[in-house]
Amino acid sequence: MSRFVDVPHTMLPAETLDALLQTFVTRQGYDTTDVTTDMHDWVRDLRRQLERGELLVVHDLQTETTEVMTLAQWQSFGRQIGDDEEEGDGPFS
């Protein structure tokens, strides 16, 4: 069984997704002190990146945590989009 599962962001309640994106902003070191860009702007930009497939929502089955990561981060784990479905390790298998 795979450790990481790609979670379609459209399956998450808006409040949950916003919280995950806000955590991503602070974890990635965005300049949140910039008064011209607030958290809502960052979240809106990140939602666009999710739509374009540049970011992913990933659930770690080992730690039982869910987070947002970049496609490059996902691939650094040796994963490709759709690996879970191809391997039959998806969340509903």
Render pLDDT for 18-68 as a digit per residue (tens, 0 to 9): 999 999 988 876 655 665 667 888 889 999 999 999 999 999 898 999 999
The model's pTM: 0.72
Provide the CATH topology of domain 4-87: Arc Repressor Mutant, subunit A (1.10.10)
Q: Describe the crossing of helices 14-27 and 39-52 by its angle, rounded to 10 degrees.
A: 100
Indicate the domain borders of the chain.
4-87
Q: Give the DSSP letter string of 23-92.
A: HHHHHTT--TT-TTS-HHHHHHHHHHHHHHTSEEEEEETTTTEEEEEEHHHHHHTT--TTHHHHHT-STT
Q: pLDDT value at position 91?
A: 39
Q: Is the pLDDT of residue 89 over 50?
A: no
Per-residue pLDDT at 72: 86
Q: Tokens in use for 76?
A: 């650094």
